[in-house]
Amino acid sequence: MTAYNEDSIRSLDWKEHIRLRPGMYIGKLGDGSAYDDGIYVLLKEVVDNSIDEFVMGAGKTIEITVNEHKVSVRDYGRGIPIGSVVDVVSKINTGGKYDSKAFQKSVGLNGVGTKAVNALSTSFVVQSYRDGKTRIAEFSKGELVKDEEKTTTQRNGTAVTFYPDDSIFRNYHYRLEFVENMIWNYVFLNSGLTVNFNGQKFVSENGLKDLLERNIDTESMRYPIIHLKGDDIEVAITHGQQYGEEYYSFVNGQHTTQGGTHQAAFREAVVKTVREFYKKDFDASDIRASIIGAIAIKVQEPVFESQTKTKLGSQNIGPEGPTVRTFINDFVKKALDDYLHKHSDTAEALQKRILQSERERKDIAGIKKLANERAKKASLHNRKLRDCKIHYGENHELAQQTTLFITEGDSASGSITKSRDVQTQAVFSLKGKPLNAFGLTKKVVYENEEFNLLQHALNIEDGLDGLRYNNIVIATDADVDGMHIRLLLMTFFLQFFPDLVKAGHVSILQTPLFRVRNKKETIYCYSDEERQRAILKLGGKPEITRFKGLGEISPEEFGLFIGKDMRLDPVILSKEQKIIQLLEYYMGKNTPDRQKHIVNNLRIEVDIAEEQKIAEEELVA
Ligand SMILES: Nc1ncnc2c1ncn2[C@@H]1O[C@H](COP(=O)(O)OP(=O)(O)OP(=O)(O)O)[C@@H](O)[C@H]1O
């Protein structure tokens, strides 16, 4: 046993602590391929401060520039008081928001945000402009390297520029699609605010109504968006054509991607109000089918269930307020009921939609029952699924990391099974190519054994609430067959579970194309460019191996690619994307260049194009 005495006791200074336990401050590390990776939290911590200035009535415009590795934010707020510029970003629990009433409905008043960004950046520069004076302070990993004060003619405000530390965020790069989404959410939730992001102007007049319009296929809407606003609450609702429900929820401007008490109350309140309005005891699932809703509320001292603040746990609106549930229910009941009374066309369309869902549900009730019995039996000895121990949604610090790999072929699934982390990583093995689900109805999800078991493994039959894994990772070979399986799986998800894709749960596993090594070092390369860099780096004549399929990679080696340095390519739907058209285009029967289309629209162009090229070369050879 090692000695335990005074010398064993250490006291970390603030930056050491943040760098030792970054997860405590900013959640997941990761390379930026998931929307909830830490590098986006860094960005948010800085922008949130500028938003607070806007909320205080200072500075209607915020300028944000993000490239793959660097973030700059300039606001025209009041500017950090010149004498405090260094302290507010480098002394823990230092801030100007503790006593202010104006900030009571903010997401965090801990005085921690910028310090975390500072400590986790190789370079962090903060500059305040205030009444003719400016002070600029520069840090590296939290260490002050420069501090200068001079006069200025620039407008008041604050500018922050930082580069996340790539020894902590390995191989990271900002995905601009994710950042763009964040920016949109900021402007939807702050009317009157203009954000200039990478030279483009973002502004919203109609808040959550604009949000829904941006996120859904407006042509498929069953009736015009219902948009209701009250004190500290705003909601928007419509019904589309897609399977599943889709919600966007916010608390004090924070996007609660995992929902929470407010979202649950909203779902409940809509059902209740609708039933009362039509005086019919509709099945809740028929009212909710294809619903697309958004809700934003303000709460005093909100309580979150996770440290990344993605799930609201608050039971009450504030220390003296009503419960979240009562508050939302009262508002929806009155406002939605009023609205339906005043808009009979909408009321009619809504009822029609509910009745249609009811018919569809009854149509497949028989087969559903059978399939569920089958799945129950199968899950007792479900050979397709090798489960992990922890699941998403459980109150466990590793719940965010839960991952289901969907693989094809015995060798690949064997490798993953052997090298995975049994705590958080599960494997679902497909037997050959899945069915092309394009154009089929939900019935097939029950009829087709593979789909049925997959649906049960994920536990998403009745919506995403019970989802068992945060990340659903398609892990197929990078050849033509593997690509085809990928497309088929994406078709399945896009068609029947678009909410899963939109919520950012689905991605594709990148595996290295090459291994470059000498006696001392091994570098795995995911592109030709990386291979060239590796050869330069190692010098001499390193050994170069091309990996052709997942099956060729040994389990030991595979462990490296699904561990800490796992690279994922998220499946992202862009705003212009209409799922139905998209599927028609590339999974329909008569479209010769559909592959090109999916490539562009799913934003994984580089990889597919590259893999396609390689696969074609291989076929020729
Ligand atoms: N853009 C800004 N304009 C004006 N003041 C700022 C700006 N950015 C930071 N500050 C000041 O620095 C303080 C510390 O900011 P920091 O982000 O570290 O913590 P916080 O916002 O107080 O709390 P949280 O931990 O929730 O982020 C703020 O309270 C504010 O007084």
Per-residue pLDDT, 276: 97
Per-residue pLDDT, 381: 58
Do 192 and 142 have their domain in common? yes
Name the closest-CA residue to atom 13, ligand 1. Answer: 95
Task: Judge whether residue 91 has pLDDT over 70.
Answer: yes
Do 65 and 176 have their domain in common? yes
Do 348 and 370 have their domain in common? no
Calculate how far, in angstroms, residue 249's C-alpha sits from the geometric centre of ligand 1.
24
Calculate how far, in angstroms, residue 34's C-alpha sits from the geometric centre of ligand 1.
26
DSSP readout, 135-193?
EEEEEETTEEEEEEEEE--SPSEEEEEEEE-TTTSTT----HHHHHHHHHHHHHHSTT-
Do 353 and 307 have their domain in common? yes
Q: Assess if residue 125 is contained within a domain.
A: yes
Calculate how far, in angstroms, residue 122's C-alpha sits from the geometric centre of ligand 1.
20
Do 319 and 192 have their domain in common? no
Per-residue pLDDT, 99: 67
For the CA of 160, the nearest atom of ligand 1: 1
Calculate how far, in angstroms, residue 151's C-alpha sits from the geometric centre of ligand 1.
23
Quick one: which of 292, 300, 305, 214 has its CA closest to 258? 305
For the CA of 114, the nearest atom of ligand 1: 18
Q: Assess if residue 6 is contained within a domain.
A: no
Per-residue pLDDT, 373: 82
Task: Judge whether residue 357 has pLDDT over 90.
Answer: yes
For the CA of 77, the nearest atom of ligand 1: 3
Per-residue pLDDT, 400: 85
Task: Judge whether residue 386 has pLDDT over 60.
Answer: yes
For the CA of 116, the nearest atom of ligand 1: 18
Do 447 and 563 have their domain in common? yes
| Ligand 1 near 587 CB (within 6 A) | no
| Ligand 1 near 106 CB (within 6 A) | no
Q: Assess if residue 238 is contained within a domain.
A: yes
| Ligand 1 near 109 CB (within 6 A) | yes
Distance CA 617, CA 546 (A): 13
* Mean pLDDT of the residues in the chain: 86
Number of domains observed in the structure of the chain? 3
Note down the domain range covering 507.
Answer: 365-511+553-587
Asked if residues 284 and 271 have their Cβ atoms less than 8 Å apart, the reply is yes
Do 20 and 155 have their domain in common? yes
> Domain containing 444 — which CATH number?
3.40.50.670
Place of tokens 């699609």: 177
Q: Which residues pair with 449 in a beta bridge?
A: none
Q: Assess if residue 541 is contained within a domain.
A: no
Calculate how far, in angstroms, residue 297's C-alpha sits from the geometric centre of ligand 1.
22
Distance CA 508, CA 574 (A): 17
pTM value is 0.81
Pocket test for ligand 1, best of 88, 254, 308 (most atoms within 8 A of CB): 88
Per-residue pLDDT, 60: 95
| Ligand 1 near 254 CB (within 6 A) | no
Calculate how far, in angstroms, residue 324's C-alpha sits from the geometric centre of ligand 1.
28
Per-residue pLDDT, 560: 87
Q: How sure is the predictor about 378, in pLDDT bands with cuts at 50, 70 and 90?
A: low
Per-residue pLDDT, 495: 86
| Ligand 1 near 53 CB (within 6 A) | yes
Pocket test for ligand 1, best of 75, 82, 112, 114 (most atoms within 8 A of CB): 114
Per-residue pLDDT, 574: 61
What does the pLDDT average to over 326-336? 97
Among 182, 202, 222, residue at a domain's last position: 202
Q: Assess if residue 45 is contained within a domain.
A: yes
Per-residue pLDDT, 292: 94
Quick one: which of 39, 122, 104, 113 has its CA closest to 80? 113
What does the pLDDT average to over 224-242? 95
Per-residue pLDDT, 605: 33
| Ligand 1 near 95 CB (within 6 A) | yes
Per-residue pLDDT, 499: 86
Q: What percent of the chain has pLDDT over 90?
A: 51
Name the closest-CA residue to atom 19, ligand 1. Answer: 111
End-to-end Cα spacing for the chain:
61
Per-residue pLDDT, 262: 97
| Ligand 1 near 252 CB (within 6 A) | no
Q: Assess if residue 128 is contained within a domain.
A: yes
Per-residue pLDDT, 310: 83
Do 165 and 233 have their domain in common? no
What does the pLDDT average to over 145-153? 96
Q: Tokens standing for 159?
A: 């500018």
Calculate how far, in angstroms, residue 53's C-alpha sits from the geometric centre of ligand 1.
10
| Ligand 1 near 110 CB (within 6 A) | yes
Task: Judge whether residue 244 has pLDDT over 50.
Answer: yes
Per-residue pLDDT, 587: 57
Task: Judge whether residue 590 has pLDDT over 50.
Answer: no
Do 255 and 190 have their domain in common? no
Do 358 and 436 have their domain in common? no
Do 71 and 161 have their domain in common? yes
> Domain containing 101 — which CATH number?
3.30.565.10
Name the closest-CA residue to atom 7, ligand 1. Answer: 49
Distance CA 458, CA 454 (A): 6
Q: How sure is the predictor about 101, in pLDDT bands with cuts at 50, 70 and 90?
A: low
Among 202, 218, 249, residue at a domain's last position: 202
Using DSSP bridges, classify how beta strands 403-408 and 471-475 pair: parallel, antiparallel or unpaired.
parallel
Task: Judge whether residue 451 has pLDDT over 70.
Answer: yes
> Domain containing 356 — which CATH number?
3.30.230.10
Q: How sure is the predictor about 23, in pLDDT bands with cuts at 50, 70 and 90?
A: confident
Q: Identify the three-state secondary structure at position 201.
A: strand
DSSP readout, 569-612?
EE----TT--HHHHHHHHHSSS-TTHHHHHHHHTT-HHHHHHHH
Per-residue pLDDT, 582: 58
What does the pLDDT average to over 573-586? 58
Using one digit for the tens of pLDDT, what is the confidence trace for 486-538?
Answer: 888 988 998 899 889 888 899 988 888 889 999 999 999 988 888 999 999 99
What does the pLDDT average to over 228-253? 93
Per-residue pLDDT, 583: 60
Q: What percent of the chain has pLDDT over 70?
A: 88
Task: Judge whether residue 154 has pLDDT over 80.
Answer: yes
Name the closest-CA residue to atom 1, ligand 1. Answer: 50
Q: Assess if residue 545 is contained within a domain.
A: no
Among 136, 169, 202, residue at a domain's last position: 202
| Ligand 1 near 63 CB (within 6 A) | no
Do 249 and 150 have their domain in common? no
Task: Judge whether residue 556 has pLDDT over 60.
Answer: yes
Calculate how far, in angstroms, residue 43's C-alpha sits from the geometric centre of ligand 1.
13
Q: Assess if residue 618 is contained within a domain.
A: no
